[in-house]
A and B are shown apart, each in its own frame.
Chain A
Amino acid sequence: MIDLHPNIDAELIPILDEVADPEIPVLTVLDLGVIREAVIRNGKVMIKLTPTYSGCPAMDVIGDDIKAAFLKRGMKAEITLVLAPAWSTDWISEEGKRKMEAYGIAAPLEETADKEALLGNKPLVKCTNCGSTHTRLVSQFGSTACKALFQCEDCMEPFDYFKCLK
């Protein structure tokens, strides 16, 4: 079996898996790939966290939620924000992408797909409501910094698309 979280102590995984992203509550911090490292050192949980976007307001909340989750078990966690290497949408787990789609947010495509859609070429982002690829970009920026707003031309539903960040 592949070790999905090589830098995370095995006993911490179930606890981290309880902490959800405050803006996309179906995703845990592990799905999102923002935990770079989580280890126990001298009885303390040391966590390295990478922000998705520099100004992401969820990061402070995520840090607090992680601390609270450990505190509930009588463990003290210390969070360090790490900027490099910069977070990429490739770090979102396959499971995370599936959950995201089911929640109504189109998962990030390859970078080229992003540009194709922008250039008015064949739109490739699939509607999360009806599955049609007949969609259009409404706005580069959606409800949060990490999302763009799309609309389906078939069922007319607007939906969020998680921007590809590489």
Chain B
Amino acid sequence: MKDQDLYNYILGVADNSLILGQRLGELCGHGPNLETDIALTNIALDLFGQTRSYYQYAAKIAGDGRTEDDIAMLRNERDYKNVLLVEQPNTHFGHVIARQFLFDVYHLQLMNALQHSKDEMLVAIARKGVKEVSYHKRFSGDWLKRLGDGTDESKQNIQEAIDHFWPYTDELFDMTDSDKKIADQGIGVDMTTLKDDYYKQISEVLEEATLTIPDNPYSKRGGKQGIHTEHMGYILTELQYMQRTYPNMTW
């Protein structure tokens, strides 16, 4: 493949949205109330929409006859480049909101920066995405504040969730070799330059939510290299079930 690095880079961005979308999709019909159920599945829909644009583009770059569906449905676990944060389970509502908020702040930074990419297609996807992701961040940020500044129980649960996911945030700013090459070409985003701002933004909201900013130096990483947590296999099993059972099926 001529543009292997660009292909890798796009998958890195797209896989986060696919896997998080799948996680949120699991809540369809199981949300804590009707409004949040609908909101979370709407966010999933936005993420799937974005991921589809990325995969269509990646398929074009690969140029080996594979389609967007093949890329989404027929890769094996090690070939997925999403960060570990997005594959973590929906343990309770606090976990869903904390995971979402920690991702949304990063995602909006990425979409904002990608609008200045030299790659026209990535700019187009980012311009569309930035509007949607702004809403996601507003939703998760609102809920974070509501839970943090809510009852003793909600505060305790959301604090536990933030503490739990904190070690996964560092990986968002890891740069693979492909990421670096693509950033050097002015196409990708050098995420390391956005890290300080990320923690600043997160801290401001946590403070407003009367929550404690975790002080945990330990980091969990590996997803970007294809080394995933034990949860990933289950997600793919469900995601890929139909396509693996009935190869080439379409709706």
Do chains A and B interact in one complex? yes
* A interface residues with partner B (beta carbon < 8 Å): 51, 53-57, 83-87, 118, 138-145, 149, 163, 165-166
Task: Name the residue of chain A whose CB is nearest to the CB of B48.
Answer: A55
A145's contact among B45, B120, B124, B129, by CB below 8 Å, is which? B45
The reply to whether A55 and B135 form a contact with Cβ atoms under 8 Å apart is no
Task: Name the residue of chain A whose CB is nearest to the CB of B43.
Answer: A141
Max count, chain B CB within 10 A of own CB: residue among A85, A86, A139, A140? A140
The reply to whether A55 and B47 form a contact with Cβ atoms under 8 Å apart is yes
The reply to whether B52 and A55 form a contact with Cβ atoms under 8 Å apart is yes
**B155 nearest CB across to chain A (Å):** 20
The reply to whether B49 and A55 form a contact with Cβ atoms under 8 Å apart is yes
Number of A-B contacts (CB under 8 A): 73
The reply to whether B39 and A84 form a contact with Cβ atoms under 8 Å apart is no
**Complex interface: chain A residues within 8 A of B39 (CB):** 139-141
Complex Cα distance A54/B128, Å?
7
The reply to whether A55 and B128 form a contact with Cβ atoms under 8 Å apart is no
State which residues 1-39 of B face A: CB under 8 Å: 35-36, 38-39
Max count, chain B CB within 10 A of own CB: residue among A57, A84, A144? A84
Task: Name the residue of chain B whose CB is nearest to the CB of A163.
Answer: B135
State which residues 49-101 of B face A: CB under 8 Å: 49-50, 52-53
Given known pairs A54-B128, A83-B128, the reply for A140 and B135 (CB within 8 Å) is yes
**Interface check B142, CB cutoff 8 A:** yes
Complex Cα distance A118/B134, Å?
13
The reply to whether B42 and A145 form a contact with Cβ atoms under 8 Å apart is yes
A54's contact among B35, B38, B46, by CB below 8 Å, is which? B46
